[in-house]
Amino acid sequence: MSTHILEVSGLKTYYKTRLKEKVFAVDGVDFELEEGKTLGIAGESGCGKSTLALSLMGFYFPPLHYGSGSIRIHGNDIMKLSKEQLRSQVSGREIAYIPQAAMNALNPTLRIIHFIEDILKEHRPELSKKQVWELAAERFKTLNLPEKVLKSYPNELSGGMKQRTVIAISTILNPKVLIADEPTSALDVTSQKAVIKLMKDLLDKKYIRSLVFITHELPLLYHVTDEIMVMYAGEIVERGTAEQMIFDPVHPYTKKLMGSILVPEEGMKGQKLAAIPGAPPNLKQVPPGCRFAERCTYAQDECLVGKVPVHTNGSNQYRCHFDTETLKEWYAHEQS
Ligand SMILES: Nc1ncnc2c1ncn2[C@@H]1O[C@H](COP(=O)(O)OP(=O)(O)OP(=O)(O)O)[C@@H](O)[C@H]1O
C-alpha cells in the first residue's frame, strides 16, 4: 500500500487578472510526500511557491482558479469535493496552511484562546468552554508554550512566541499535512530555532504527519527537510534529498541557486538564494522549451524548443534537455 500522504498530479492553477489575462503560476506540478517526511520548496520570488501552497489547500477564490490535475490526501482527491466539504472536512483537519506573515494577521483585539475556541466550535462542537481550555492548555504544555499565552492578546507576545502560537493554533485539529510558508522569515536566529523545534515536536508527537516547508533560507531547508523541491516559473525543475540538492545539484538552475553554499556546512550559515543574472519569464506568456534557457549559461538551440524531458536517477528528478553526465562534465570543466 502506498505510504504517500499527499500525491499531486498534473496540477495547473492560474490567476485571472482584471484585464482577463491568465498568469500560469502553477503549471503542471507533480510530486508526492510520504507519511512522516518533510519536504522543502525553494525558488526565487514569484516562481509560484505560495500559489502552490494555496492550490494544495483547494483555496480557489478569484483571482486564483483551478485548471486541472489532482490533489490526493491518503488517496482521496480533494478536488472532487465541494467548497463546503473542503472547508468542513479538509481545511485544518487534513491539511493546514500557515501563510506568510500569518502571525501579523491575528486580530489584535482577541485573546489567543478565542482563536482556538473558534476552530473547535466548528469542528468539535461537543466540547464545553472548559474542555476547550483544557485541550488547548494540554497542547501548549506538550509543545513547551506557556499556558498563560492563551489569555494574552497577540500584541503582548514577542514575534517568535506569536509565530509558535500561530503554528499551535493551526495544528490544533492534528492535520495530516502542515504547509508552512516562510514560517521563520523576519525572526531572529533564536526564534527561528524555536519555530523549527516546534515543527519537529509536532511531527515527533504525531500532531502532524508530514510537513511542507517553504523558505528562502537554504540552510534551514537542509536542517529541517528530508527532501527539497526547486520551483522555477511555475514548474518543479528538480527534486532530491536535502543532502543531494544542497551539495550535488544537477539542474543548472538549482546549481546556480545552491552554488554559493557548496562549502563546509559551517559556512552555510546566513547564506540566502544567490542572485542569478536576468529575470524569470513572464508567467502570462511562458516561452516554449526550457523556461530557464534564457538565463542558463549552458543553453543550446534545442533548449529553446520542444518538450523538456524529466530525468530520474534514484531519488533525484530534474527537468532538462541534458543528461546528468553531460551536465556534470560541464560543471567540472567550469571549476577547473
Ligand atoms: N493575486 C494575483 N493576481 C495575479 N497574479 C498573481 C497574484 N498573486 C501572485 N501572482 C503572480 O503569480 C506568480 C507566482 O506568485 P507566488 O506568490 O506564488 O510566488 P512565490 O514563489 O511564492 O513568491 P514569494 O517568494 O515572493 O512569495 C507571480 O508571477 C505573481 O506575480
Burial 235-271 (b: 16+ CB within 10 A, else e): bbbbbbbbebbbebbbbbbbbbbbeebeeeeeebeee
Ligand 1 touching residue 25 (CB < 6 A): yes
- Tell me the pLDDT band of 262, cut-offs 50, 70 and 90: very low
Ligand 1: which residue has its CA nearest to atom 30?
46
Ligand 1: which residue has its CA nearest to atom 26?
45
Ligand 1 atom nearest to 51, measured from its CA? 18
Ligand 1 touching residue 29 (CB < 6 A): no
> Where are any strands of DSSP class E within the chain?
4-16, 22-34, 38-42, 64-73, 76-77, 95-98, 177-181, 210-214, 227-232, 235-241, 310-313, 316-319
Beta carbons of 44 and 242 less than 8 angstroms apart: no
Q: How far is the CA of 48 from the centre of ligand 1 (A)?
A: 6
Architecture of domain 4-109+153-335: 3-Layer(aba) Sandwich (3.40)
ipTM of the complex: 0.98
Please give the angle made by the CA atoms of 40, 14 and 315, to the nearest 5 degrees. 30
Domain boundaries, the chain: 4-109+153-335
In this structure, what are the phi and psi dihedrals at residue 284, rounded to the nearest 5 degrees?
-80, -25
Ligand 1: which residue has its CA nearest to atom 31?
46
Cell numbers for 146: 506557556
Tens-place pLDDT, residues 94-117: 999 999 989 899 999 999 999 999
* β pairing state of 76-77 and 227-232: unpaired
Around 208, how many Cα atoms within 13 Å sit in the side-chain half-sphere? Answer: 28
Cα–Cα distance, 98 to 92 (Å, whole number): 10
Ligand 1 touching residue 313 (CB < 6 A): no
Beta carbons of 169 and 98 less than 8 angstroms apart: no
Tens-place pLDDT, residues 8-36: 999 999 999 999 999 999 999 999 999 99
Ligand 1 pocket mutation, candidates 47, 55, 179, criterion most atoms within 8 A of CB: 47
Ligand 1 touching residue 234 (CB < 6 A): no
pLDDT over 90 for what percent of the chain? 82
Ligand 1 atom nearest to 47, measured from its CA? 21
Strongest mean pLDDT among 72-86, 167-181, 215-229: 167-181
Helix H or strand E encompassing 231: strand 227-232
